[in-house]
Amino acid sequence: MGAFTKANKSEQVYATKLGDMEKLLETLQAGLHRSKASQTVASLEASDCERNDALSTLTGLVKAFSRVKEASSKEVYDKLSKLFKNYAGLTSMSYEKEA
């Protein structure tokens, strides 16, 4: 803005409006930043939902085999069940908070 004002010194209207234009520019830039931040938050929230849905589906599928009596299926269930215990609190986490 300052360079523009210097280059157009003879135009008094630019010099008198410079303060107003700088304030408006700051407001515009702040709004653009908020918009980008809002888009990022929305994207992270969508990723959280997708992750949570996938984990819930997989956990439900594994739990479906908890009462199976067949030895090989029971063995697979036991291994997967132990593995999924590592992710027990994952659905309460947020990518936004981690970022």
The pLDDT tens digits for 1-15 are 566 656 666 566 666
Specify the pLDDT at position 26: 82
Query: Residue 44 is part of which domain span?
Result: 12-98
Contacts of 93 (CB under 8 A, 6+ apart): 48
**Domains identified in the chain, total number:** 1
Q: Could you tell me if residue 3 is inside a domain?
A: no
Coil, strand or helix at 11: coil
Tokens of 38: 């809002």
Instruction: Give residue 20's pLDDT band: very low, low, confident or very high (50, 70, 90).
Output: confident
Task: Write the CA distances from 28 to 23, 34, 64, 75, integer angstroms.
Answer: 9, 10, 54, 60
Assessment of whether the complete model's pTM goes beyond 0.85: no
Mean pLDDT (the chain) is: 80
Structure confidence at residue 23 (pLDDT): 81
* Domain-located, residue 51: yes
43 vs 96: CA distance, rounded Å? 9
Per-residue model confidence as pLDDT tens digits over 77-93: 999 999 888 888 888 88
